[in-house]
Amino acid sequence: MSRIAARFDALRAQNRGALIPFLEAFDPDRATSAAILRGMPAAGADLIEIGMPFTDPMADGPTIQAAGRRGLLAGATLAGTLEMVAEFRAHDPATPIILMGYLNPLLAHGIPRFCDDAAIAGVDGLIVVDLPSEEAALLAPDAARNGIDIIRLVAPTTSDARLRQVLAGCSGFVYYVSITGITGTRSASSEDLAAAIPRIRRATDLPIAIGFGVKTPAQAAAVARLADGAVVASSLIETLAADLVDGRAVPGTVEKFLGQIQALANAVRTARHTNSEAA
């Protein structure tokens, strides 16, 4: 069983949702992002999403764009990101790692080689934003050969008919993009989510995580009641960015990031046992 499936099974047995925090590789530098990554499981991350910096992140808002720029300035490469994952994996055999990014750096690395290297490093899943199901054959065979899950995005614009096609090649979990928009901007209303999730649920047995616009502990808790996981990205990166001095980490930067994860984790862990209203 894959790490992702095992983790969601375990969480289901505990009747709680997953917190999936995000960090951008090498943001603001390699050592800081490696320290954040290392501290995430203890802070309450159930799965971890790592952004692979790209010069032209078309689905990302200003916060993640800036994180990517800082990462690239700090020397991020695909190989460097995989190295970071391998270091993490040496100490943590269980927490699933999902890489999120755009297609071109993967193509430059070579898709078969990238999938081989990612599997060796201990990567469990891939989210490639600009690779819709129409173009999926480019990546699917090499990912499958290496036991790497392809996590598909489902959007509010994805029709029921299209949903079947999108889910056909999806494994690990389904990532519901809760708004039509870029990362870190609006948040979906709980009414919209309450309508959207059962629609996807009817089409798949895979766990469903919700991302885009999940910012506060209250929002993460609301999401964890409706779905199987909450992805939190921009609000964490905003905290990091606000803490930097001249673009550099300062003492306490890592702790502040992890502290925010802890608050989110507490909210997610107790979400299904409390009746608090969604924010």
Partner 1 sequence: MTWSIQELTLDQNFAPLPNSLRHGPTTSGRFGDYGGRFVAETLMPLILELEQAWEAARADPGFQAELDTYLKDYVGRPSPLWFARRLTAHFGGAKIYFKREELNHTGAHKVNSCMGQILLAQRMGKTRIIAETGAGQHGVATATVCALMGLPCVVYMGAVDVERQQPNVFRMKLLGAEVIAVSSGAGTLKDAMNEAMRDWVANVRDTYYLIGTVAGPHPYPAMVRDFQCVIGNEARAQLHQAEGRLPDAVVAAVGGGSNAMGIFHPFLDDPDVRLIGVEAAGKGLDTHEHAASIERGRPGVLHGNRTYLLQDGDGQIEEAHSISAGLDYPGIGPEHAWLNDIGRAEYVGITDDEALAAFHLCTRMEGIIPALECAHALAYIGKLAPTMDADKIILMNLSGRGDKDIATVAKHSGAAL
Find the binder of partner 1 among 38, 109, 201, 215 (CB under 8 A): 109
CB-wise, 182 or 271, nearer to partner 1? 182
- 49 as an active site residue: the answer is yes
Q: Is 192 in the site for partner 1 (CB under 8 A)?
A: no
- What residues between 235 and 264 interact with partner 1 by CB under 8 A? none
Q: What number of chain residues touch partner 1 (CB under 8 A)?
A: 44
Least spacing, CB of residue 277 vs partner 1, in Å: 27
Q: Is 103 in the site for partner 1 (CB under 8 A)?
A: yes
- What residues between 111 and 140 interact with partner 1 by CB under 8 A? 129-135
- 117 as an active site residue: the answer is no
User: CA 8 → CA 129, 172, 208, distances in Å?
Assistant: 23, 9, 10
Find the binder of partner 1 among 42, 104, 145, 189 (CB under 8 A): 104
Q: Is 232 in the site for partner 1 (CB under 8 A)?
A: no
Q: Is 54 in the site for partner 1 (CB under 8 A)?
A: yes
Least spacing, CB of residue 188 vs partner 1, in Å: 13
- Catalytically annotated residue among 60, 117, 228, 238: 60
- What residues between 207 and 226 interact with partner 1 by CB under 8 A? none
| DSSP letters spanning the chain | --HHHHHHHHHHHTT-PEEEEEEETTSS-HHHHHHHHHHHHHHT-SSEEEE---S--TT--HHHHHHHHHHHHTT--HHHHHHHHHHHHHH-SSS-EEEEE-HHHHHHH-HHHHHHHHHHHT--EEEETT--GGGGGGTHHHHHHTT-EEPPEE-TT--HHHHHHHHHT--S-EEEE-SSS-TTS----HHHHHHHHHHHHTT-SS-EEEESS--SHHHHHHHHHHSSEEEE-HHHHHHHHHH-BTTB--TTHHHHHHHHHHHHHHHHHHGGG--PPP-
x/- track of binding to partner 1 for residues 157-176 (CB under 8 A): xxx--x---x----------
x/- track of binding to partner 1 for residues 67-86 (CB under 8 A): -----x----xx--------
Task: For 23, list phi and psi in degrees, rounded to 5.
Answer: -140, 155
Find the binder of partner 1 among 6, 9, 31, 55 (CB under 8 A): 55
Task: Indicate which residues carry an active-site annotation.
Answer: 49, 60
Where on the chain is the footprint of partner 1 (CB under 8 A)?
54-59, 61-62, 65, 72, 77-78, 102-109, 129-135, 152-159, 162, 166, 177, 179-182, 185-186
